[in-house]
């Protein structure tokens, strides 16, 4: 009798207004076969600046890029005027962030951006893991420990 | 024969475009009798965000405000577009900075602001200590250790 | 054509004078099927106390014990009088170390203990990873980062 | 009318079984004119190893030794067998402690040592500050912040 995989939810596609740190746009649909680490942050969120962003950079530095695609998602849902693209660019430069970052698109007005809403995120920082088949495998709001994050990503990498 | 105090340089006056976290403007000339701790920072300078600003907040929290006046000085000399007043306001709010902050004034154009130039600062973070008589007593670029900073301020407080 | 596994060295057996934090002795030979994390330390080695031992405790707390067996190895090669069993017991109690610890046996005299010599360890802390088949897969002297350690253990766990 | 100093308690003399890191015994009675920083610790107390002892070393490194005398007091009140002099010596060597350390004397049996009892200490780490006149000025059980400690010592140094 055939082994049936557990059923996981498909990860919703990203809605990005602009990309930084990457020559080309990224789409989840094109990343099948790789593990995707999606880190939602705001450049003026202390938990992101002090913990989430440096942790995500460590993920980007540790794992092979043909196995694991790290994506930062700038999900501005407050202080919109304070975190425009020019400020984000300077932030990424000064804090030496080298992984691709997409600016989450707003439909209209200044509320929660589209990707953030699709994923029903509760705030920032949020860490989301998507497996090689494009399925949501982890969704964590707040701080996660490096060892557990490293182990969970490696486990997804090991799935063939 | 009379003991002569060492001669210290008078601290130049501040040139501030706008004040935050204070109901009234602050002038060094009006702060004689108090020790002044001047912390020059930029909201997107990692050494400021991770070290200098939290240390300055600890100074503000530790010392009596009628003995020690803490002043943040936002000395933007790069990425001007990225660190406008709206961004600074959000930064102070999110990082729970409660000491008064003055935005260092630019003469014209976008180079080094006026107070930063008057003090011949080399960059951010810079910590400056001014004694009860308005004289420059310490000027430090980069990170300083909490214990040494606490000791030096207490020493100035003890001078009557 | 058959896929041939890379050839790894078999991990040498432990030579233990006494066990702490475990009701029964542990032998690598009996641990086939599980990943073994071997942490060699000395209770008065600062790099062990400040980094290696707490990291090893985090490994013990994170991974399922039927998948990953954590073993501390007290490899005293200096200050022998200072790190007798009574001192080690108090150390483990005070620092809340709960993983099993074996005291590496000395042949005679006070030089390097037997297991440490068999593994050709260069000092403490040393972290050694042994796979489900009892083969040496990692040997690291000094500090390792949590994320990399978590990833490497998870990778070995994923091997079936 | 004469200004009357507040009345502070005289600091009890130390009762030391053996001294380490100093060529000569130290007595509080001989240290009048200097501020004395007394740090009571146990070499297997995590709060001491991780916080108190390194902080005390920073005090020793920061202040002039003719103004501030730092003294470590090894107050063993538990696990006596585990923290004999040979173990303490190795600890001081490995953790690069260079300030003088006195081993608090036990009357008989293995309970609380004499100096610890005289000062009515509640445990370790405990930080005690004694002014130039030999009077108790601060007594703190647990962790103290570097900035506050530095300020308090500097304040006592400034008293003439």
Cross-strand partners of D104: D16
Q: Dihedral sign, CA of B123, B125, B127, B128?
A: positive
Span D21-46, pLDDT tens digits: 999 999 999 999 999 999 999 999 99
Span B54-92, pLDDT tens digits: 999 999 999 999 999 999 999 999 999 999 999 999 999
Cα–Cα distance between D11 and D143 in angstroms, integer? 21
Q: Please give the mean pLDDT across all residues of chain D.
A: 94
Secondary structure element (H or E) that encloses residue A102, with its range: strand A101-104
Q: How confident is the model at residue B111 (pLDDT cuts 50, 70, 90)?
A: confident
Cα–Cα distance between C80 and C105 in angstroms, integer? 12
* Lowest-confidence region among A66-70, B39-43, C109-113: C109-113
Mean pLDDT, range D105-129, rounded to an integer: 92
Answer yes or no: is pLDDT of D108 > 50: yes
| Inter-chain touch D154–B149, beta carbons under 8 Å | no
| Inter-chain touch D90–C49, beta carbons under 8 Å | no
- Find out whether D90 and D136 touch, Cβ atoms under 8 Å: no
Cβ-nearest to A81 among B44, B50, B86? B86
Mutation choice for C interface testing from A151, A153, A157 by most C CBs within 10 A: A151
Torsion angles phi and psi, residue D97, rounded to 5: -85, 125
Torsion angles phi and psi, residue D128, rounded to 5: -125, 135
Cβ within 8 Å of residue D67, ≥6 positions away: D34, D35, D157
Cβ-nearest to A82 among B50, B81, B86? B86
pLDDT of residue A3: 56
User: Which residues in chain D touch residue C83, judged by CB atoms under 8 angstroms apart?
Assistant: 87, 90
Answer yes or no: is pLDDT of B107 > 70: yes
Mutation choice for B interface testing from A44, A89, A97 by most B CBs within 10 A: A44
Chains in touch with A (≥3 Cβ pairs < 8 A): B, C
Cα–Cα distance between D8 and C143 in angstroms, integer? 48
ipTM of the complex: 0.92
User: Which residues in chain A touch residue B46, judged by CB atoms under 8 angstroms apart?
Assistant: 94-95
Cα–Cα distance between A123 and A107 in angstroms, integer? 18
Secondary structure element (H or E) that encloses residue C47, with its range: helix C46-47
Q: How confident is the model at residue C1 (pLDDT cuts 50, 70, 90)?
A: very low
pLDDT of residue B108: 76
| Inter-chain touch A150–C155, beta carbons under 8 Å | no
Q: Please give the mean pLDDT across all residues of chain A.
A: 94
Q: Is the backbone peptide bond immediately before C125 cis, with ω within 30 degrees of 0?
A: yes
Answer yes or no: is pLDDT of D1 > 50: no
The closest of D139, D157, D7, D137 to D73, measured between CA atoms, is D139
How big is chain A by its Cα radius of gyration, in Å? Answer: 15
Cβ within 8 Å of residue C26, ≥6 positions away: C14, C16, C19, C69, C71, C100, C102
| Inter-chain touch B82–A95, beta carbons under 8 Å | no
Using a threshold of 3 CB pairs under 8 A, tell whether chains B and C touch: no
Query: Closest chain A residue to C62 measured between Cα atoms?
Result: A148
Answer yes or no: is pLDDT of C121 > 60: yes
Cα–Cα distance between C94 and D125 in angstroms, integer? 14
Q: Is B151 within 8 Å of chain D by CB?
A: yes
Cα–Cα distance between C153 and B51 in angstroms, integer? 34
Q: How far is CA D141 from the centre of its chain?
A: 12
Give how far B90 is from chain A: nearest CA, Å.
6
CA atoms within 13 A on the CB side of D66: 0
Q: How confident is the model at residue B94 (pLDDT cuts 50, 70, 90)?
A: very high
Q: pTM of the full predicted structure?
A: 0.93
Q: How confident is the model at residue C72 (pLDDT cuts 50, 70, 90)?
A: very high
Instruction: Encode D98-110: b = buried (16+ Cβ within 10 Å), e = exposed.
Output: ebbbbbbebeeee
Answer yes or no: is pLDDT of B4 > 90: no
| Inter-chain touch D45–C94, beta carbons under 8 Å | yes
Q: Is D59 within 8 Å of chain B by CB?
A: yes
Q: How confident is the model at residue D116 (pLDDT cuts 50, 70, 90)?
A: very high
User: Which residues in chain C touch residue A149, judged by CB atoms under 8 angstroms apart?
Assistant: 147, 150
Q: Which of residues 89-128 of B touch A (CB under 8 A)?
A: 89-91, 93-95
Span D68-88, pLDDT tens digits: 999 999 999 999 999 999 999
SS (H, E, C) chain D: CCCCCCCCCECCCCCEEEEECCCCCCCHHHHCCCEEEEEEECCCCHHHHHHHHHHHHHHHHHCCCCCEEEEEEECCCCCHHHHCHHHHHHHHHHCCCCCCEEEECCCCCCCCCHHHHHCCCCCCCEEEEECCCCEEEEEEECCCCHHHHHHHHHHHHHCC
Cβ-nearest to A155 among C55, C148, C154? C154
| Inter-chain touch A50–B50, beta carbons under 8 Å | yes
Residue C104 three-state SS: strand
Q: Is D85 within 8 Å of chain C by CB?
A: no
Cα–Cα distance between A130 and D100 in angstroms, integer? 57
pLDDT of residue C8: 84
* Lowest-confidence region among A89-98, B75-84, B94-103: B75-84
Mean pLDDT, range A14-26, rounded to an integer: 97
The closest of D63, D96, D83 to D18, measured between CA atoms, is D83
Cβ-nearest to A147 among C62, C155, C157? C62
pLDDT of residue A111: 86
C with D: how many residue pairs have Cβ under 8 Å apart? 48
pLDDT of residue B110: 61
| Inter-chain touch A46–B90, beta carbons under 8 Å | no
Mean pLDDT, range A42-53, rounded to an integer: 97
Answer yes or no: is pLDDT of B2 > 60: no
């Amino acid at each position: 009798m055939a082994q049936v995989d557990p059923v996981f939810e498909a990860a919703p596609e990203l809605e990005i207004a602009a990309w930084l740190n990457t020559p080309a746009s990224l789409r989840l649909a094109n990343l099948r076969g790789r593990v995707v680490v999606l880190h939602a942050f705001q450049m003026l969120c202390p938990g992101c600046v002090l913990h989430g962003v440096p942790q995500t950079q460590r993920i980007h530095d540790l794992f092979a890029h043909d196995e694991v695609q790290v994506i930062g998602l700038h999900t501005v849902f407050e202080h919109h005027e304070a975190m425009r693209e020019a400020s984000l660019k300077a932030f990424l430069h000064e804090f030496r962030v080298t992984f691709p970052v997409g600016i989450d698109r707003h439909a209209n007005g200044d509320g929660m951006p589209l990707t953030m809403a699709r994923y029903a995120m509760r705030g920032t920082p949020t860490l989301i893991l998507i497996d090689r088949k494009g399925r949501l495998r982890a969704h964590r709001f707040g701080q996660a420990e490096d060892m557990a994050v490293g182990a969970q990503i490696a486990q997804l990498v090991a799935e063939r």
